[in-house]
Chains A and B, each alone.
Chain A
Amino acid sequence: MSLPPQLRKISPTIWELPCSYKDGMLVPVRIIASETLLASMENGVFEQAANVACLPGIVKYSFCMPDGHWGYGFPIGGVAAMDPATGVISPGGIGFDINCGMRLVLTNLTEKEVRPRIKELVDNMFSRIPTGVGCTGFVHCSRSEFRKVIQEGSRWCLKNGFAWPEDLEMTEEGGCFGGADAEVCSDKAIERGHDQVGTLGSGNHYCEIQVVRPENIFDRKTAAAFGLTIPNQVVITFHCGSRGFGHQVATDYLEKFLRVMTTKYGIKTHDRELACAPFRSPEGQAYFTAMKCAVNMGFANRQLILHRIREVFSHVFNRSPEELGMRMVYDVAHNTAKLETHMIDGMQRELLVHRKGATRSFGPGMDGIPECYRESGQPVIIGGSMETGSYLLAGESSAAATFFTTAHGSGRTMSRHQAKKMIKGQKLLGEMEQRGIYVRTASYGGLAEEAGFAYKDIDEVAAATEEAGLSRRVAKLVPIGNIKG
């Protein structure tokens, strides 16, 4: 892959494209990556990050994280902060899967205890957690009940017996973005999503049983603060979002913004997928409110899946989830826009931070993270491919440079069709089982698409975020069982 000639190395992990790279750029692009990761980025990443740099009201830089890859509108891994008074909000800067995110759950079990039961656990999870194309949830919400779900998020789950009070504390924003109002969501969005609460979906969405081996702990003190205290401790990580409801909210507002962006607000973008509206406009505010509903659906969805995971472990080990120590470490959101206060050139400013395929990474002592993590910084969960596992990291103060944002995953390097040409799903399943990873999938084709070789090296991504000062590695989590949509 040839890099743009204008790309300038600022530091070993910061690469800058100046405003002269493309007509209309208001700020430079900054790619955060190691040299190896940079070389694996497609040209689409640079073009898309430059398109984002043209959006009205953007502050400082259009960023791309180390796992960045070619997406639609923003690159995946794209981060942009807008001045709320003069800037825009863009659904293409958040993604269709609003509040796609990761959740990490502890157990007090060890690999030795779990290995003999792994098939039973994975089979049970596969039958109890709805997975795959068009799957519907185990909680059948009426449309009016669903409106409560999207306004209350995890709070609805707590009221209905699907959450522990401490789960909410361990979720970004307490599992509920305030100001969500179902009135701004279309009937179509409600219709599409009301029966999907508590479903995993497909694609790169998964639920994984993992082991924290002693040799994979990078920071013992923080690992202990996050609850990793037992050698070869078993944890569960899962990745999913707001399902059809969030997808429809984004689609609805993309269409609405296209109708008003140029005619009413005189804004032009390089890519129609970047359709936007001034944040303070009626359309911008309506989308922000609808997006919050989708964020809350994402939190509720992950909370119900957590409930099912606890039931499965409890059933298999014949002990209560409390006895099994099934506490949540944290829940992080990947695809959001949030109003946050950041120091910009020595001044505190409120900014609308778009994160698309990127994780908030609040450092030690910051407001907005649970009291128990004040000293360590917030837990950051970076999901890798199902073959390589994930990373648990901690937010750093030096992440201020990227509006306190870090990577979210490995990032693909190979298209889905290319991956399927390389390996058949059944073969991959067999190979993974031989390596000690037991997998159940709703789709063999979908499984092949998620093969480890289709992704960047997760070790390299996690190390790059540490070298860039965005998040520090705490532990690597290695898979032993997986369910995949």
Chain B
Amino acid sequence: MPFRFLDDIATADVAFESWGATREEVFSSCAAALLATMVEESEEVIRNKEIQIHLEHEELDLLLFAFLNELVFHKDARRLLLHVDNVMITERDKVFHLETVARGEEIAPDRHKLLVDVKAITLHCFALVQNGNLWKATVVVDV
């Protein structure tokens, strides 16, 4: 998986680092890490519901922040655990636009190996950087 959990940041919460060859990939990797924070064997979450997501922000890192917050919102508001396989990011007039279809299913405590509820994405140590051909994000989530 293109992410790993970090043990040495924010003891009471969960921190992860995600990566990808493109900015779009690192967004998807972060969504995968977020899902894996909440449910063990997250690949078992099936894709029978869809949510369209359109977001925009002037800053690319804060677009990622808004994107992850959107997934957390749907976990409570629609009780959905979501995969994000492909993300499209475009830049127009100095504003980044994100479009994607998140796919997943309703939380089923009898089938899903649930771990911990994510309350929010924090901005503590939050980072999105490009280093050569690799995009990397660091995220601390409040659980």
Contacts and interface: CB of A to CB of B under 8 A. Distances in A.
Given A132-B109, A133-B75, A96 B124 contact: no
A443 interface: yes
Q: What range describes how many residues of A lie at the interface?
A: 35 or more
B11 A96 contact: no
Contacts of B117: 132-134, 201-203, 485
A134 B79 contact: yes
B10 A247 contact: no
Interface in B85-133: 107, 109, 113-117, 119-124, 126
A411 B11 CA distance: 9
A483 to B, nearest CB: 14
Given A42-B11, A71-B10, A95-B142, A443 B115 contact: yes
Contacts, number: 138
Contact of A418 (B7, B65, B120): B7
A417 interface: yes
Q: What range describes how many residues of B lie at the interface?
A: 35 or more
The residue in A258, A415, A417, A445 that gathers the most chain B C-beta atoms within 10 A of its C-beta is A415
Nearest to B76: A244
B14 interface: yes
A271 B123 CA distance: 8
A188 B66 CA distance: 13
B5 interface: yes
B53 interface: no
A172 interface: no
A76 interface: yes
Interface stretch (A28-36, A81-89, A249-257, A302-310): A249-257
B124 A273 contact: yes
A196 interface: yes
A221 interface: no
Given A134-B79, A134-B117, A417 B7 contact: yes
A442 interface: yes
A178 interface: no
11 contacts: A69-B12, A70-B9, A134-B79, A134-B107, A136-B79, A191-B77, A202-B114, A202-B143, A247-B119, A254-B123, A415-B11
